[in-house]
Amino acid sequence: MKLSVIIPVFNEENTILEILEKVKKVPIEKEIIIVDDGSTDRTREILKNIKDERIKIIFKEKNQGKGSAIREGLKVVKGDIIVIQDADLEYNPNDWIKMIELMEKENVEVVYGSRVLGKNKKSSFLFYLGGRILSLIANILYNAKITDEPTCYKMFKKQVINSINLKCKGFEFCPEVTAKIRKKGFIIYEVPISYNPRNIKEGKKIRLKDFFIAVWTLIKYRFFD
């Protein structure tokens, strides 16, 4: 089964090439789709200099958010399995290997990488707490039975992600996908993954307001959709 990796990127000039090297080295057949979301630092220049036929790069003119970039990427995927990769260095692409192993089992359509199940350095307490609360809400509202709802490492069979109609623009990609996948009745399997958190000074872009948007997104798709 071929993997499609979607990398949404916004102003990650310090890490984009390093993460790309790590992605390329994972011994799995894959295509790589980078979606630049109107970066204003050197990211676009760096991407324009990449000469590698295996990498498809989409340049959006305006910054619209991570969700809109992922949706652009989803329009062009050709693989059987899709995974999202951030353009920073918080996650380790080698963790896909165990995710795919699970994915190859019969009736497994969705696998999340859980930072909570892995033994990891904790991120700042508030980020950690926010993640736990979002998982709890997903478990209560959708009987999701997961430990890490906002993880970036969400892996889906193509027909699963294609079967849901995404509306997100920003970071609410995660709760929207979790909500709609569960509403369709798919089980979310988890495997432990490693996590090397960065802080806001190091470029983290997610903020407190995104937490509230995520909570609202989970509630909205449960009761008002």
Binder to ligand GDP among 30, 66, 157, 158 (CB under 6 A)?
66
Residue 191 contact partner, candidates Mg ion, ligand GDP, none, CB within 5 to 8 A by sort of partner: none
Return the number of the residue (9 or 81) whose C-beta is nearest Mg ion: 9
**Does residue number 99 form part of the binding site for ligand GDP (CB under 6 A)?**
no
- Check binding of 210 to Mg ion (CB under 5 A): no
Q: Which of 9, 33, 99, 214 binds ligand GDP (CB under 6 A)?
A: 9
Q: Considering beta carbons, is residue 132 or 220 the nearer one to Mg ion?
A: 132
Q: Does 10 bind ligand GDP (CB under 6 A)?
A: yes
Q: Do residues 22 and 93 touch, judged by C-beta distance below 8 A?
A: yes
- Quote the least distance from Cβ 136 to ligand GDP, whole Å: 18
Distance, CA of 129 to CA of 99 (rounded, Å): 25
Q: Concatenated DSSP letters for the chain?
A: --EEEEEEESS-TTTHHHHHHHHHHSSS-EEEEEEEE---STHHHHHHT---TTEEEEEESS---HHHHHHHHHHH--SSEEEE--SSSSB-GGGHHHHHHHHTSTT--EEEEETTTS------HHHHHHHHHHHHHHHHHH----S-TT-S-EEEEHHHHHTS-----STTHHHHHHHHHHHTT--EEEEE--B----GGGT----HHHHHHHHHHHHHHHH--
Kindly indicate which of the ranges 29-37, 44-52, 90-98, 170-178 contains the residues binding Mg ion, using the contact rule CB under 5 A. Answer: 90-98
Q: Which is nearer to Mg ion, 88 or 109 (CB)?
A: 88
Q: Which is nearer to ligand GDP, 1 or 129 (CB)?
A: 129
**Nearer Cβ to Mg ion, position 10 or 142?**
10
Residues that bind ligand GDP (CB under 6 A): 8-10, 12, 35, 37, 63, 65-66, 69, 86-88, 90, 152, 204-206
Residues that bind Mg ion (CB under 5 A): 86, 88, 90
